[in-house]
Amino acid sequence: SVPSLAPIVKQAAPAVVNVSTYTIRAHRNPLLSSPFFRHFFQLPEDPAVTKRTQSAGSGVIVDAENGFVLTNHHVIQNADEVEITLQDGRRFKATILGSDKKVDLAVLQIPAENLTSIPLASDNAVQVGDFVLAIGSPFGLQQTVTSGIVSALGRNGLGVQGYEDFIQTDASINPGNSGGALIDLRGTLIGINSAILAPSGGNVGIGFAIPSEVAQSVMNQLILYGEVKRGGIGARFQDLTPELANAFELNRYQGALVNSVKVESSSERAGLKAGDLIIEANDRPVNSAADMANRIGLSPLGSVVALKVIRDGKPIQLEVTIEEIPIPEIAGDKLHPSLSGVRLQDLIHPDYESAVGCIIVDIDQGSPAAQQGLEIGDIIFGANQKRVHNIDELVYLTSREPLRSFNLRRGYQELSLYLR
């Protein structure tokens, strides 16, 4: 018989679905804003009209019994309604169980029976050179299959997501393929098609997929918590430059150099020290500080990361645990008597790794802080006309000069507060 990929496609295709999203937008004609116009033409008081816009992507059924569907975060973000169309034509309204922008994954659930799912490939099963198939619904077409090979593993630094650890493939991946399946010749899911690198939006033979092991970890957390709970190891890293390599007498120029280790952190308990050079994490090469940040960000809370470290020219093995990092906070009276009764916390935006200001999370009624006019939710981003990003900077500033004024943001307003 003639060699064909048809049996593999026939087995996997029913698990790949079309994802349609609807966004309800209020549209108002300027003429309808005129009370006279509305009265003259006897129009209703609320002249808003809603329009539904639709976008199409793909998804993969990964649990037939529970109706769990994996897709990209960017396919369903800002959607008011999500509809899934199966290969057999059935349509279902989907519930968004959780979504994570940093890895660009979302989990949907549909109330359907007789579903087909694709089994996830086991860890480290993928190798460069493996033949792969990409299945999806590009440009809203019913279903398209393309083939290629795995071109590279562990791709990052693309500026596409917060955490990047892509499988690169030359299988044609188009915009509507987002959320579709990348499968191997055993018919197992090795990745969720995600990013595209092209000068004009067309395909140039470079497509990217999120590995199934990453997708599995993120999916489990989204199903359990509706979000991904990330942690850290209490260390800071920097890229190894040739100058630093010479200074530390290292005979290599790639790795993540440990800049500092926090007291009583997971890193300190594991024995990690400033000046250590991390060259591997969980048997994967670490070439830069970004590589190390990816390994930590893609590891769930409580998991153990095995590190290969160069110290004093010799390799050593360490194991660090990803643990919850408490958000720094402080009582206001430690900063100034007029701030008594307030509690401040570092404000860490979901899209950033570090704090952008200090937010008031609690305030006692009638306290000196309340009498100053402060409110819960106020964000302090400056003190004594100097920019402050976090509580540490605020404490450092008050140790050097008396606190006289604050710059704070309240909603869309920026205010200056002078302490009495």
How far apart CA 93 and CA 108 sit, in angstroms, is 10
Q: How many residues does the chain have?
A: 420
How far apart CA 169 and CA 153 sit, in angstroms, is 9
Q: Is 74 a catalytic residue?
A: yes
Classify residue 342 as exposed, middle or buried by CB count within 10 Å of its CB (0-12, 13-18, 19+): buried
Handedness of CA 224, 230, 233, 239 (dihedral sign): positive
Per annotation, catalytic residue among 100, 104, 165, 346: 104
| HEC profile of 100-165 | ECCCCEEEEECCCCCCCCCCECCCCCCCCCCEEEEEECHHHCCCEEEEEEEEEEEECCCCCCCCCC
Element (H, E) at 222: helix 212-225
What angle (nearest 5°) sits at the alpha carbon of residue 182, between those of residues 179 and 184? Answer: 160
DSSP state of 352: -
Per annotation, catalytic residue among 20, 73, 74, 99: 74
CA separation, residue 141 to residues 189, 242, 330 (Å):
21, 50, 55
Handedness of CA 120, 124, 129, 130 (dihedral sign): negative
In 3D space, the residue among 82, 102, 97 whose CA is nearest the CA of residue 17 turns out to be: 82
Q: Is 104 a catalytic residue?
A: yes
CB 377 within 8 A of CB 412: no
Q: Is 178 a catalytic residue?
A: yes
Other CB atoms within 10 Å distance of the CB of residue 162: 17
CB 323 within 8 A of CB 266: yes
Other CB atoms within 10 Å distance of the CB of residue 93: 12
Per annotation, catalytic residue among 178, 266, 267, 340: 178
List strand residue ranges (DSSP E) for 156-303, in order. Answer: 166-169, 181-184, 189-196, 207-211, 235-239, 256-261, 277-281, 284-285
Catalytic residues: 74, 104, 178
